[in-house]
Structure 1
Amino acid sequence: MAHIDYYFATISPFTYLCGTRPEQIAKAHGATLTYKPLDIMQLFGRTGGVPPKDRHPNRQEYRLQDMRRRAAMTGQPMNLKPAFWPTNGAPASFAIIAAQTAGGDVAKLVANITKACWADDKDIAQDEVIRACLVEAGFDADLADKNMLTSAETFGANLEEGINAGVFGAPFFVTDDGERFWGEDRLADLDAHLAGKI
């Protein structure tokens, strides 16, 4: 059985645009999927990346165009300049880690949290927003407060594991045979790889 490690950031627009497709692709191929939220700004700093606000204007403008086009291609609403971005992605990440441990629809939770930021203009660092996303995905709202120390440790470990696996952006998918796929626009390639086509 194939396995996919899904490295992502709760504040990433391209993670939002993935929706629940990573889970759907994994299920279609009988693969397992582990959600590994990480601190994208630390990842950039350690792998040669630059936060969007510090990029050359040409790169910033292209990013916004690309986000607009990808949102249109995926049929998802998107605010290119959300009211609460950037924000602290750690609290929502801790909730996702706790949810994965508890078991349930983690794909829906990730989609809810990223949509809250990129389509609903909500601050995903706020407890009430995280709790609402948990409930909407079928989890207990109190999960946001459980095992926070363990979740924080896992969040930090995800960064180290990601760097060791060759991750430098988000979303980023690493299969158990060492293939790496960076970006929402590479989901079709991940699908093709799992199907044995590439």
Structure 2
Amino acid sequence: MPTIDYYFGTISPWAYLAGDRLERIADRHGATISYKPLDILQLFDRTGGVRPADRHPSRMEYRAQELPRWAEHLGMALNVRPAFWPVNMAPSSYAIIAAQQAGGGDLGGLVQGVLRAVWAEDRDISDDAVIRDILGAHGFDPALADKGLFIGAETYGRNLEQAVEAGAFGSPFYIVRETGQRFWGQDRLDFLDRHLSAA
């Protein structure tokens, strides 16, 4: 059974636009997903990327055109300038890490719910009340927002180190653990699907 290591930042618009396609691909191939939220800004720093705030205006102007194009193509709601962005990713990431460890809910739905909160619902994912609400909506104990903060912080930092070691440099980034094949971006999910079919 293949395992997909999924590296992402909870403020990534491109991870949001992936929707539930990764989960559907994994179901189709009997694959397991290991969700690895991380500090995407630090990943940029570590791997030669540029934080959005420091990018050339032409790159940001193109991004502002490309995001709504993809949202329309995928039939997804999108606010190109969300009310809470950028925002502290740690609290939402810790909650996802705690939920993955606890089990019992819809983890893929939780991840999508956090991303949707930023990019379609103008909610502040650094707010504990928002995190508790999203946890509960996807079958997890809302109290996970307050539990396991030490383990969450430790895993969050470890996810960054693992991403750098594995060759990830953006979000979303998918790595098939058994083959080492890497796929960067929601627009590469079809290639991931084809790779799993061939494997």
In the superposition, the TM-score normalised over structure 2's length comes to 0.97
1:73 and 2:73 equivalent? yes
Listed as ranges, the matches of 1:168-179 within 5 Å are 168-176=169-177, 177-179=179-181
Give CA-to-partner distance per residue, 1:53-108, whole Å, 9 cap, x none.
Answer: 21111110111111111111111100000011000011000000000001121100
Candidates 183, 195, 198, aligned match of 1:196:
198
Q: Where in structure 1 are there 5+ consecutive unaligned residues?
A: none
**Cα offset for 1:6?**
0.2
* Cα separation, 2, equivalents of 1:137 and 1:164: 32
Structure 2: how far apart are the matches of 1:130 and 1:74?
26
Q: Following the alignment from structure 2 to structure 1, what is the Cα–Cα distance between the partners of residues 189 and 65?
A: 19
Mapped to 2, the partners of 1:174 and 1:147 lie a distance apart of 27
Separation in structure 2 between the aligned mates of residue 136 and residue 60 of structure 1, nearest angstrom: 34
Secondary structure, counterpart of 1:195 in structure 2: helix
Give the corresponding residue for 2:129: 128
1:38 corresponds to:
38
Q: Point out where structure 2 has 5 or more consecutive residues left out of the alignment.
A: none
Partner secondary structure for residue 25 of structure 1: helix
- Corresponding residue pairs, total: 197
What's 1:91 paired with?
A: 91
Structure 1 segments of 4+ aligned residues over 4 angstroms from their partners: none
Q: Give, in whole Å, the separation in 2 of the partners of 1:20 and 1:154.
A: 24
| Partner SS state of residue 33, structure 2 | strand
Q: What's the counterpart of residue 117 of structure 1?
A: 118
In 1, Cα distance between the equivalents of 2:73 and 2:197? 23
d(CA) in 1 for partners of 2:21, 2:143: 27
In the alignment, the residues of structure 2 paired with residue 73 and residue 188 of structure 1 have an alpha-carbon distance, to the nearest angstrom, of 15
Offset, 1:146: 1.1
Per-residue deviation, 1:2: 1.1
Question: What CA distance in whole angstroms lies between the structure 1 residues aligned with 2:8 and 2:36?
Answer: 6
TM-score normalised by structure 1 residue count: 0.97
For 1:95-122, what per-residue CA distance to the aligned partner results, in whole angstroms no more than 9, with x for missing partners?
0000000112110001111101000111
Report the 3-state secondary structure (helix = DSSP H, G, I; strand = E; otherwise coil) of the residue aligned with 1:34: strand
Match of 2:153 in 1: 152
CA deviations 1:8-52 (Å, max 9, x no partner) are 000000111112221111111011110000000100001011111
- Cα distance in structure 2, aligned partners of 1:120 and 1:31: 30
Q: What secondary structure sits across from 2:198 in the alignment?
A: coil
